[in-house]
Amino acid sequence: MSWKRFARDLHDGRIDQICILSDVERMKSEAEKLTQLVTEGADAHSAKSKKECFDEQCWNSLESSPLYEVLREYKDVLPDDIPAELPQDKGVQHEIDLVPGTKYCVTRQWHCRESK
């Protein structure tokens, strides 16, 4: 039976059950290998302390970057601690000025059928 016919028969409901035969020992050994890879990755990550990871991302480590001055200017956007108040206004206005006399562009998300 071809894969196309199998898929069509399965979709149409002509096939009720599927029995999949597999090599249990091979599946177990592959699962063990996968588990070992996952634990090795976790061990390597836990070897590096949280403090070391944080220190790599601190402001002092960015001093050699050519973008350091720009980053310092916008330091309050992503502060280390949660601020108690809103950051200072940087003068950015989020608005669109329309030309006088123009109408808003309103479109429907779904087209409705006209009633007869």
More confident residue, 93 or 42: 93
pTM value > 0.75: no
More confident residue, 28 or 22: 28
Residue 69 has pLDDT above 80, yes or no: yes
Question: Can you give the residue ranges of every domain in the chain?
Answer: 3-75
Which residues, in sequence order, are CB contacts of 71 under 8 Å at separation 6+? 59, 62, 65
Residue 80 has pLDDT above 80, yes or no: no
| Cα distance between residue 67 and residue 75, in whole Å | 12
| Cα distance between residue 71 and residue 107, in whole Å | 40
Residue 73 has pLDDT above 80, yes or no: yes
| Cα distance between residue 77 and residue 83, in whole Å | 10
More confident residue, 29 or 90: 29
More confident residue, 15 or 82: 15
Residue 15 is predicted with a pLDDT of: 86
Residue 109 is predicted with a pLDDT of: 65
